[in-house]
A and B are shown apart, each in its own frame.
Chain A
Amino acid sequence: MQDDIHDVVLEEEDGEGNTASLQHKNKELREKLKRTEAECGENLAGWQRTKADFVNLQRRMREAEASALRTGMARIITEVVAVFDSLEAAAASGASDIAPIVRQLEAALQRHGVLRYTPQTGERFDPERHEPMQVVATTSKEEDNTIASALQSGYLLDSAVIRPARVSVFHFEA
């Protein structure tokens, strides 16, 4: 491209602008082109570097994510292991009351933002929180689409359902 510029034939212009000033202008333009090309190269290099940095960052993020996941898992497992210890102790002592262990597990999960919930009979069925396992016929219109019984508890993690409660739901049949 630069060659094109060098090949420019300078034509005499009428009136203003003599050869000297045109040559000056030509020189100026050539310098400007040089500057622009340099700038263009710098911009491209900068763009490429930013993109490469981004790609490398993405990869590091993936690695960091995997390691954060492991750390989080390890924390939960430490809690669960304590429950295991209790179960072992219970088995060794021949105890049959598991209520304290259930409380221990529940508290452990609660510390990590997990909440256990058990729907009550008569509660309105909500597919966000309840997973119906079966429908139970009812002759009462009011009972239609309400919880007949809770079969398994549901679990929330930071208010998002991670396992809906398993329920049976009333279905009105006239």
Chain B
Amino acid sequence: MGKILGIDLGTTNSAVAIVEAGEPRIIENAEGNRTTPSVVAISKTGERLVGLIAKRQAVTNPTNTIYGIKRFMGHQLSDPAVQKDMVIVPYKIGEGQGGAVSVTLGGTAYSPEEVSAMILQKLKSDAEAKIGEPITEAIITVPAYFDDAQRQATKNAGKIAGLDVKRIINEPTAAALAYGFNKRKNEQIVVYDFGGGTFDVSVLEVGDDVIEVKSTGGDSHMGGRDIDQKIVRWIAENFKKESGIDVSKDPLALQRLDEAAEKAKHELSTTLETEINIPFIASDTSGPRHLLMKLSRATLEELAREFVDRSIAITKQVLESAQMKASDIEEVVMVGGQTRMPAIQDAVKALFNKEPNRSINPDEVVAVGAAIQAGILQGDVKDVLLLDVIPLSLGIETMGGVATKLIERNTTIPTSKSQVFSTAADNQTSVEIHIVQGERAMAGDNKTLGRFHLDGIPPAPRGMPQVEVVFDVDANGILKVTAKDKATGKEQSVRIEARSGLSDADIERMKKDADAHADQDKAARELAEARNAADSLIYTAEKSLIDHKDTVTDTVRTTVQGAIDALKQARETGDTARIRSATETLSREMQAIGASAQQGNAQSPEPGSQPDGNAQSS
């Protein structure tokens, strides 16, 4: 069976998502963008253009460029909303069959369904090209306030585009689905959607697997673009005050202002002040003029206030008509790019007294929700394949008490990982495998899950034996650790049951612990590593002195021995910097051994830098 496409067919922009391997994913269009302008045009050469290109050429071709067609879907020409909108748009609105709206494009009358179908067709064929298979089914979202005629029109648009529309779902419902709130019981959810050109707010109630829209409201002509326009006007006015030059009549200058305004707006979501810098914006008798001014977040908020306040007032009305209080609401979901504005988040947070959900990209959350609904219909996610992740990292203790992670936390299970370790001392015949769980850098700070010994390793110099350690976590979270001496094939293993008695609270505490101790852990780890490097070098230095005892001069011997002793002393101080510097000194002095033993007998290089001894990735 083919994939079902989730489509957010928006007034200004549309987005498409699909469920792949149980995960929703936004599909980029042919131009490589994650959203597509909902604009259709017939160029002067008779070509049909959809999306960004159509939007781009609108200036030269305003009467044959259709945008905002969604406002006319399923409407009669006589509807008051249509009468209001038709005077604003530059394209021609006429009467179609049975009093319906029709628009003129390239001299031909089209129904709004047909125009929407052109957008859907592009979305469909771009998605097909991206995923490499034909798509015949879709779920399309519509505003919660859409009536039956409007929903039917949307469905027909899909049909014309060659899509079997399996379901029409509400945009706020899709947003709630994206956050998985359909699995909740008896919860009230508010979806606050501040888009580019429209504002919608809905109150939803989640019952038994059904999401019901309790009330909805909004302003179909208020959006982020209004705020952009206000910033542009603010910049232009200030520039005029400063320079006496009016740039509002210069289209290129306006375009540059518009870009700068949008950039400034985005930047002020994370910073408190931004600089608007447009060199050579205009020129007068005194020569070229540059535009340079500062815009603070406070000023932006002042400019945006009327829109934010209005959205909050509408939200309150919608709550009222659902006969609810702000405190009745369990979750608030943010939709639309404009909700990235901190002032909006703060206003919504203040109203509901809770942190709104905004972890999913607000431009994409509706399409993602539609894809999830599609996934549910498809039955894509089999229960047995709903896989868990391990909450905390798993690893073993290595030289110097360092916790070496084999499986990182949040890894999806079942999984297995192996790494080869070695011995820390000469002729070591047994290694202890100390299995630890947690995020701390030192093994002692993590939780011990188990220990065992692997004996019978043939005597060999340190670093030579190869012990392969395999961690295997099965689908139920049961960990099996096996250690195997590669030389003899001897192996030993242990099984550790899932969770090992850790409660969710324990896990949370351990994660927080790791964050809280991050600096301290880093220092401890660095010390351990410095010590390991020191041990390793002392070992090599002493071995070299013995190996080359016949060729090394007394002066060299004395200097090297002195450096060894100094390093041994430094090692005991626990001062990482001192250990490192003493290690460097010894390493430098050791070169003299090689130099004085000039015969081809040059000592065999120590195996790697071997910091924690021995770990080499398998």
Contacts and interface: CB of A to CB of B under 8 A. Distances in A.
A45 B23 contact: no
B387 A53 contact: no
A125 B60 contact: yes
Contacts of A125: 44, 57, 60
Contact of B44 (A51, A58, A145, A164): A145
A133 interface: yes
A52 B415 contact: yes
Contacts of B520: none
Contacts of A144: 44
Contacts of B49: 127
B60 A51 contact: no
A60 to B, nearest CB: 10
Contacts of A52: 387, 412-415, 475
- Size class of the contact patch on chain A: 20 to 34
Interface in A27-50: 44-45, 47-49
B296 interface: no
B277 to A, nearest CB: 15
B413 A166 contact: no
A45 B474 contact: yes
A56 B412 contact: yes
Given A145-B44, A151-B252, A160-B32, A127 B56 contact: yes
B411 interface: yes
A49 B252 contact: no
Given A54-B21, A166-B255, A48 B387 contact: yes
Nearest to B62: A135
A26 interface: no
B414 A45 contact: yes
Interface residues of B, number: 29
A52 B416 CA distance: 10
Contacts of B44: 125, 144-145
Contact of A56 (B31, B53, B411, B475): B411
Contact of B59 (A59, A132, A160): A132
A141 to B, nearest CB: 12
B131 to A, nearest CB: 15
A46 to B, nearest CB: 10
Contacts of B410: 59
A25 B414 CA distance: 38
B56 A47 contact: no
Nearest to B253: A133
B43 interface: yes
Contact of A55 (B21, B474, B475): B21
A39 to B, nearest CB: 15
Interface string B535-571: 0000000000000000000000000000000000000
B59 A48 contact: no
A128 B30 CA distance: 13
A135 B60 contact: yes
A58 B389 CA distance: 14
Contacts of A55: 21, 23, 387, 412
Interface string B462-488: 000000000000110000000000000
A52 B410 CA distance: 11
A165 B365 CA distance: 33
Interface of A: 44-45, 47-49, 51-56, 58-59, 125, 127-128, 131-135, 144-145, 151-152, 160, 164, 166, 168-169, 171
Interface of B: 21-23, 31-32, 43-45, 49, 53-54, 56-57, 59-60, 251-252, 255, 384-385, 387, 410-415, 474-475
19 contacts: A47-B385, A48-B384, A48-B387, A49-B415, A52-B412, A54-B21, A55-B387, A55-B412, A58-B23, A127-B54, A127-B57, A132-B60, A133-B59, A133-B255, A145-B45, A160-B32, A164-B56, A166-B252, A169-B59
